[in-house]
Every structure is written in structure tokens, then in C-alpha cells.
Amino acid sequence: MSAKCQKRTSAIRPQQPGHSAPSIWHWERTRGPLVRTLRLEKALTVPGDSMDTNVRQSLRILVVEDEWIVRAVIANFLRDEGYIVVEAATGEEALSLLTGHNEPIDLLFTDIQLGGRLTGWDVAETFRNSRPHSPVFYASGHPPDDRRRVLGSVFFGKPYLPDKILRACRSLEA
């Protein structure tokens, strides 16, 4: 494994109520920031199949939020729902993860006003240039600037309910 990306499994938690498999925590270091991801494997029944088939829910979400408590709440909520979550505190950190990460990001969830020189608008534009059909969710306490939004994006005003984000994520899987 290259020096740019080092992975190790940190801990395996026992089976959680309502989940079919143990939670496996992974720690990754990619060019600097320590990234904690959780791969929570759930057994799902495939409709029309006479046998139970294990299907892995693997939507990988990059959460970009400079307020650590807001980032932690939404990231942990999404992990608890079985999503793979990567976190970034600044636009620069997000771009580093987007350009240097081995596993692709499926969805970008970004605050608009971030610490550093880049905004969520900048991160979303860069993300969409490399992944033109991938979904983008914005969050802000300010009104959206429709001139800056990428096509087909979703805007959540702060404060938002994590359940609304979850519903939007699930609608992508339907």
C-alpha cells in the first residue's frame, strides 16, 4: 500500500440491534487528515428472490462541514444507517480526499461557508467536474445562491433534521 493511503481495521463491534452483521471500523490516512469510516454491513432481502441474499449498502458519502459538532452528528447518524462516511473540515481537505482517495465518493454533502479559502460551492464544482452525474447536497444557514448550485443538487437549510438527509440518501438508492 502506498504511503499516501494507509488503512487498518481498528475495532470490530458486536452485532448491533437491528443489524445483521458486526460493525467494522476502518481508519485511513490519506495525505494528512485522519479519516474514520464505518462499514456497516446489513443483510437485505432482494425482492423477488426466494432466498435471503446479502446485499451490501455501500453509498460512500463525503461530509464537508467546518463545525465539528455538526459534522460529527450528521456523519455518525449516516454511519448508523449503514453508509460509508468520510469527513472533511475544510474545502481544501475535501479536495485532497476527492483527488487522492482510492475509493470513489458517491455523494457530496457540503456546508457552503467553510473554514479556509474554498467554499462548498467550489468543492461541489470540482466534484461534479470529475463525477458529472453524482449527487450533491448543500447545507447552509443562508439562502441558496441558485447561480452557484450545480445542476440537480439538493439544498438543506440549517438547522436541518438528519432524517431529511437520510430520506434524500435513500431516494438515490431507489
Higher pLDDT: 50 or 143? It is 143
Q: How far apart are CA 150 and CA 154, in angstroms?
A: 9
pLDDT, mean of residues 150-159: 95
Residue 163: per-residue pLDDT: 94
User: Which residue in the block uniquely carries the three cell numbers 447536497?
Assistant: 137
pLDDT of residue 161: 93
pLDDT at 12: 36
**3-state DSSP assignment of residue 14:** coil
Residues whose CB is less than 8 angstroms from the CB of residue 39 and which lie 6 or more positions away in sequence, other chains included: 23, 24, 26, 58, 84
Note the pLDDT of residue 115: 85
Phi, psi of 135 (to 5 degrees): -75, 150
Query: Residue 101's pLDDT is what?
Result: 59
pLDDT band per the 50, 70, 90 thresholds, residue 102? low
Under a CB-based contact definition with an 8 Å cutoff, are residues 62 and 94 in contact? yes
Task: Name 85's bridge partners.
Answer: 61
- Give the residue with greater pLDDT, 102 vs 32: 102
Q: Kindly list the structural domains of the chain, giving each domain's residue range(s) and its CATH number in brackets, ordered by start.
A: 55-173 (3.40.50.2300)
pTM of the model: 0.69
Question: Could you report the per-residue pLDDT of 36-83, keeping only the tens digit for each?
Answer: 444 433 333 334 433 333 334 578 999 999 999 999 999 999 999 999
User: Could you report the per-residue pLDDT of 71-92, keeping only the tens digit for each?
Assistant: 999 999 999 999 999 999 999 9
Instruction: Report pLDDT for 158.
Output: 94
Residue 116 backbone zone (phi > 0: left; psi -120 to 50: alpha; other: beta): left
Asked whether 168 and 137 are in contact (CB, 8 A), the reply is yes
- Angle (CA) 133-137-142 rounded to 5° is 140
Say what percent of the chain tops pLDDT 90: 59
More confident: 101 or 46: 101
